[in-house]
Amino acid sequence: MTTRGTFLAITLLVFGWVGILIGVTLLSDDAPAALVLFPGQDFLVDIPEDVAVLAATPFSVTLASDDADLAFQLYQHGAWLVLPAGLQGCASRL
């Protein structure tokens, strides 16, 4: 496999993985929190009152809410990428 082929394979793998995470976030409410990547300057000003900020950095914000449609609410308030946060994953069962 060439360097270009390897780069393409890794790029497709990363985009596929992020796509699956986006699907999990939108289609299930199993994650106890949501991770918003690259929030805008005024993102935290505009979030709903029942959403709790768990952590914030210049590049991400982790939020939690009891609402089942948290991801949709965050997209409506300006988030451009919402991923699940706090899931234990498969390795925790070992």
pLDDT tens for the 94 residues of the chain, in order: 688 999 999 999 999 999 988 888 888 877 888 999 999 888 888 788 889 999 999 899 999 988 888 888 899 888 889 999 876 666 555 5
Q: What are the residues facing 37 on neighbouring strands?
A: 60
Domain range summary for the chain, segments of one domain joined by +: 3-93
> Global pTM?
0.77
Only one residue has tokens 């009891």, namely 66
Query: Distances in Å between the alpha carbon of 10 and those of 7, 48, 57, 63?
Result: 5, 37, 27, 29
